[in-house]
């Protein structure tokens, strides 16, 4: 592998890392919005169930079941955010490995 190829790969990986940072901001916002939507709907559902006269011990489980789709969306957004972080970490490892290769190439 030539030094110019390694340098180009480092540059390309750096661009991907920059793009992943922007994507993480979007994923983080989506995660926060999903959490907000879920908690708001859960609170409203719990109040509705309470006003319907259901026993207090049943309300949390029933409310969660009634807003299960929003719970799924929240969990999905969180999983996507974590996957984005792991993808960015993988790019960082790749850049580090390429920098090590480049250092050894230039020392030779």
pLDDT of the residue at 106: 79
Rounded CA gap, 89 and 104, in Å? 23
**pLDDT digit string, tens, across residues 7-66:** 898 989 989 999 999 999 999 999 999 999 999 999 999 999 999 999 999 999 999 999
In the chain, domain spans: 3-107
pTM for the structure as a whole: 0.81
> Is 3-107 a domain of CATH 3.90.25?
no
**pLDDT digit string, tens, across residues 53-75:** 999 999 999 999 999 999 999 99
């Amino acid at each position: 592998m030539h030094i110019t190829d390694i340098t180009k790969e480092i540059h390309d990986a750096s661009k991907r890392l920059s793009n992943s940072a922007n994507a993480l901001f979007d994923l983080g916002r989506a995660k926060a919005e999903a959490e907000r939507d879920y908690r708001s709907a859960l609170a409203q559902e719990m109040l509705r169930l309470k006003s319907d006269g259901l026993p207090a011990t049943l309300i949390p489980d029933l409310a969660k079941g009634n807003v299960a789709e929003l719970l799924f969306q929240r969990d999905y957004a969180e999983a996507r955010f974590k996957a984005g972080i792991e993808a960015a970490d993988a790019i960082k490892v790749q850049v580090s490995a390429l920098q090590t290769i480049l250092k050894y190439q230039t020392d030779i």
